Amino acid sequence: MVKEGLVSKKRAGTGRTFVIRLTLKGEKYREFLIKERRMAEEKLRACLDSEERVALIRLLGVVAKFEI
């Protein structure tokens, strides 16, 4: 992410500690991803009924717990 210019990495004193922050490019990318996610959620809400949404949320929970 540092190479992509999305975050900056600076030493935070002694030892192996670093401060990692989003750059302006990283902030813009974050906002873009949030906007895209919200649009995807709206599309799903529009095409799924309430039972399908409940099933989708349950299945996403199963996938989130799955370890590869």
Q: What is the pLDDT of residue 15?
A: 83
Exposure string of 31-67, with b = 16+ CB inside 10 Å and e = fewer, is eeeeeeeeeeeeeeeeeeeeeeeeeeeeeeeeeeeee
The reported pTM is 0.69
pLDDT, tens digit (0-9, with 9 covering 90-100), for 10-55: 998 888 899 999 999 999 999 999 999 999 999 999 999 999 999 9
